[in-house]
Structure 1
Amino acid sequence: MNLASLRSVIARALILVAGVSSSAAHVVASADEAYPARPVKVVVGYTPGGSTDTVARLLATSLQQQHNQAFIVDNRPGAGGLLGAQAVVNAAPDGYTLLMAISSHTILPSVQKKMPYDTATDFAPIATLGTSPNMLVVPADSEWKSLADFIAAAKASPGTISYATPGIGTTTHVTAAMLEHASGIELNHIPYKGSSEVMQAVLSKQVPIAVASIITAGHAIRDGRLRALAVVGSQRSPLLPDVPTFEEQGVEGVLGDNWLGLLAPAHTPQPIVAELEDTIESLLAKPEIQDSLRLQGVAPQFGTSEDFGNVIANELKAYAELAKTTTLTMD
């Protein structure tokens, strides 16, 4: 190699090194940037005004006040929450697109024939906020005064009574399927796009009965527009202590305790996950936040990122087993 060629090679190498150094400096600057430095999107896979949306807006407002930065709720309803989750999976893993998830997140893989993402690996758990059990509800003037009344009517007319849920693969759908299996009845499932639509349907008597969480139906029960026939759980919910459980009324094996939690795309930087986790823990320790959640029908319950990840892993396995014995098919 002559001297001119050697000089050319050295020059190109210096340019390359300078470019790499510049890129590295940019990465370091980005990593050192305080989070959040711009508005954060919180995706909700259900309609505005529903239970998940209501809690998401409460959380977004609290996070905005805590960080002095906008947290904007973005509703992406459809497919039992799948469309919203897919939007988050496709977003950059930078902490600026988050998912407000509920328990149906771990049910969908067992009822959806083809998932557009991997529930186990495509998300980074941040924290859980609380839980809310499912109930069987009817209009206040319904002829069914008890769970026994409803089961008797369903047995007398198999497959003719329609019930509403916020969608296929939701925990409410699971609760109804378990009720059918446990009591030997056959019902007609009508899935809606969100819990607010379910409330409109049952209150307007488009459907005679619905499965809904306390988040969704609690207000209507307290003001006398709806009657709850039964609630899931081994004990009555402290949020609605007058509502008897399924077990109390002789129907065992009906589950459906909803969790609510925040997720990010997989590979979101750990410092950002930790920052959000710590913030949520501090928010849930505040009595006013706890009261606001209870008012919405949610029992406050903080879970760490690790706890949340374990819940997701355990439920994915449990619902896969459940799908083998319970009818949970996509329409």
Structure 2
Amino acid sequence: MNQGITRRAALALGGASLGLPAARAQEGWPGGPLRIVVPFAAGGSTDAVARLVSPGLTQRLGHPVVVENRSGGAGAIGTDVVAKARPDGQTWLLTFDSHAVMPDLVPNLPFNLTRDLDPVMLIGGAPYVIATRPDKPYRNLADLVAAAKARPDGVSYGSTGNGTIGHLTMMLLQSRTGTSMPHLAYRGGGLAVNDAVAGHIEVMIGSAALVAPHIAGGTLRALVQFGPTRLPALAAVQTAEEAGFPGLQAEAWWGVFAPAGTPAPIIARMNAALRETLTEERVRQQMEETQQARLALSDPDTLRSFVDRQVEVWGRIVRENRIKAD
């Protein structure tokens, strides 16, 4: 291998040369305040999840856990901060589903998802949902597809941004139905919801957490949800599979990562602290009701396999459609 030893191997050798094997390195952990880097601006779902778990982590780990927002580059700027941080268990990444599309969406990434980050936990996910204003003539996905076929380029949809999983889901849907729908990329979910409620766009796609309050309030109607099963809050709404599109699933998800080389015992302790925090009744209820999340609370290997699959599925759509980040 002409690039020499990998970063992970170098870290392992460096630790050995200093006489600090993983067993000793973890003894003093945490060594002070910890930070959870959220690679998006404050106010979004990822920020909300990080701030929801930080008090419980503080209690269990015995040191303050501070949330740090480092937005930009479709999540790449904050992720790079963690990828380049010392692997001492003091810095963690809590990120969103866009993590899996960065390699294909953002040119010249300064890090490698697999090489520079270690998986910690898949927290859970919430399905994407297509919704429309109730007075629009669509009651389900079949109605929307029929209208798009009847009026090529006449049925517009909004998403929360170019290259987001919602956008890519609509691209996949159009590919499978032979339709063409103009895309309006908004810089945030609130703006997309506002225009959908006002009727400026025919439909929008967003996470269940984003649209569920408006569906419950009667200002939006859900046409389809893209999870594996129906959410309790959307029990009357078909999944895409039920609507005749097998394998068409798309979920917003939240995952935790550490800088590559972080000792496995430290990752295991953080995983356990996250699990204990997220199974508290109050926290679990907020995740299920506010974020419409199905909790996974996985082990690290499950997150690694999950991200590999996400990169494969969504990266292909990015490449095939030559999509670039805003």
Q: TM-score range by the shorter chain?
A: 0.7 to 0.9
For each residue in 1:243-298, what CA deviation from the matched residue of structure 2 results, as whole angstroms up to 9, or x when unmatched?
A: 11223333444320233111112122333212111111222333333222111210
C-alpha contact 2:31 2:90 (8 A) present in aligned 1 = no
- For 2:100, the equivalent position in structure 1 comes to 106
Residues 234 and 91 (structure 1), Cα distance of their counterparts in 2 relative to 1, 3 Å cut:
closer
Residue segments in structure 1 that go unaligned for 5+ positions in a row = 1-22
In the other structure, the counterpart of 1:271 is: 265
1:176 has 2:170 as partner: yes
1:300: how far off? 1.2
Give the Å deviation of 1:26: 10
Give the equivalent residue in structure 2 for 1:126. Answer: 120
* Closer/same/farther in 2, CA of residues 90 and 158 from structure 1, 3 Å limit: farther
Q: How far apart, in 2, do the equivalents of 1:38 and 1:205 lie?
A: 51
Using the TM superposition, give the Cα deviation of residue 230 of structure 1 relative to its aligned residue in structure 2, in angstroms: 0.4
List 4+ stretches of structure 1 deviating above 4 A.
Answer: 23-28, 320-324
What CA deviation, in whole Å up to 9, does each residue of 1:196-250 have, x standing for no partner?
A: 4443443455544221111222222222222111011453233421111223333
Partner of 1:310: 305
Post-superposition shift, 1:137? Answer: 1.4
Contact 1:51 / 1:195 at 8 angstroms: preserved in 2? no
Which amino acid in the other structure matches residue 316 of structure 1? V
* 8 A Cα contact 1:44 1:56, kept in partner: yes
1:124-273, aligned counterparts within 5 Å? 124-273=118-267
Quick one: distance in 1 between partners of 2:80 and 2:203? Answer: 31
Q: Deviations over 1:6-60 (max 9, x none)?
A: xxxxxxxxxxxxxxxxx969999x9366433433222223333222222222122
Give 1:303's aligned amino acid.
S
1:190–1:84 Cα change, 3 Å: farther
Q: Which amino acid aligns with 2:286?
A: S
- Letter of the 2:308 counterpart: A
Map residues 7-86 of structure 1 onto 2, 5 A cutoff.
31=25, 34-86=28-80
Q: Distance in 2 between matches of 1:112 and 1:288?
A: 37
Rounded Cα–Cα distance in structure 1 between residues aligned with 2:178 and 2:265 = 50
Deviation at 1:138, TM superposition (A): 1.8
Deviation at 1:132, TM superposition (A): 1.0
The 1-side partners of 2:221 and 2:246 are apart by 21
The answer to whether the aligner puts 1:89 opposite 2:83 as a matched pair is yes
1:193 CA displacement: 3.9
Q: Quick one: structure 1 residues 62 and 330, their matched pair in 2 at CA, closer, same or farther if it must change by over 3 Å?
A: same
- Say which SS state the counterpart of residue 297 (structure 2) adopts: strand
Residue correspondences, number = 307
Measure the CA separation in 1 of the matches of 2:281 and 2:256. Answer: 20
Instruction: Look up the SS of the partner of 2:67 in the other structure.
Output: strand
User: Matched residues in 1 for 2:255 and 2:268: separation?
Assistant: 14
- Structure 2 gaps of 5+ residues are 1-16
Once the two structures are overlaid, the 10-residue window that deviates more, 131-140 or 243-252, is 243-252
* Distance 1:204-1:303 versus aligned 2 partners, 3 A rule: same
Between 293-302 and 244-253, the greater mean CA deviation after superposition: 244-253
Give the equivalent residue in structure 2 for 1:19: none
Amino acid at match of 1:189: H
Is the Cα–Cα contact under 8 Å of residues 132 and 203 in structure 2 kept in the other structure?
A: yes
Aligned to 2:286: 292
Q: Is the 8 A contact 1:47 1:196 kept in 2?
A: no
CA–CA separation in structure 1 for the residues paired with 2:188 and 2:41:
5
Is the Cα–Cα contact under 8 Å of residues 78 and 193 in structure 1 kept in the other structure? no
CA–CA separation in structure 2 for the residues paired with 1:255 and 1:319: 11
Please tell me the root mean square deviation across aligned C-alpha atoms, in Å.
2.9
Task: Flag the 1:328–1:99 CA change in 2: closer, same or farther, 3 A.
Answer: farther
- Report the counterpart of residue 13 of structure 1 in structure 2: none
Q: In structure 1, what is the Cα distance between the partners aligned to 2:33 and 2:160?
A: 29
Q: TM-score, normalised by structure 2?
A: 0.81
Q: Secondary structure at the match of 2:71?
A: coil
Q: CA deviation at 1:194?
A: 3.7
Q: Secondary structure of 2:119's partner? A: strand
